[in-house]
Amino acid sequence: LHELGEKQRGSVALDPTAKARVEASREIVDRIVSTDEVVYGINTGFGLFSNVTVSADKLCALQDNLIRSHSAGCGEPLTRERSRRLLALRINVLAKGHSGIRAEVLEQMIAAFNADCIPVVPSKGTVGASGDLAPLSHIALGLMGEGDMWDPQGGIAPAAEVLARANLTPIRLGAKEGLAMINGTQLIASLGAEAVERAGRAARLADYIAALSLEV
């Protein structure tokens, strides 16, 4: 994970077995949509609006607006490396096949990661254990071609421009996919993994220093 966070170091790919799980999970979502079965997060509102049924022609707009409304982080952006690790972990979670996302959307996320087209994520705004909704929304927003991205050539630029220069197509969310993109705690996991790595290095250095300080 640490190496994946480094610019242009490491790439990811979707294993065929994982892809099969993702496709099977998506079939369940598609069946629900086609039969008009009412299921929370697929064809209903969220939270207090969970009792509001959303018509089929507005399901995509529902997911887009979920991402836009939750992209409310603030403060300085996370470093490019931390945002890369965040995206890598989210790809890993979605590849498990429990979220109902389409395989083609997951492949688009992977393509953006491998091209080093990484959305800019504000450092403040997560609600912690209840889910990293704001940070993950900023990840999704950038992949949708909205908001800002770290440019592989350096600096920050509008996401749509960065994707276009990399010959990548912005993600278009379908039913439930906005919810799938943001329902998780990958920022906590990403920062926690970095802390463990840094603590391990500090402990090893402390041992080396102590050893070198002793008289033989």
Residue 1 is predicted with a pLDDT of 67
Phi/psi of residue 111, nearest 5 degrees: -60, -40
Annotation marks residue 208 as catalytic:
no
Residue of 13, 20, 28, 40 marked catalytic: 40
The CA angle 12-135-144, to the nearest 5 degrees, is 65
140 within 8 A of 171, measured Cβ to Cβ: yes
Confidence of residue 125 (pLDDT cuts 50, 70, 90): confident
Share of the chain above pLDDT 70, in %: 94
180 within 8 A of 63, measured Cβ to Cβ: no
User: Residue 118: which of 99, 153, 142 has the closest Cα?
Assistant: 142
User: Residue 159: which of 68, 89, 70 has the closest Cα?
Assistant: 68
Mean pLDDT, residues 137-163 taken together: 96
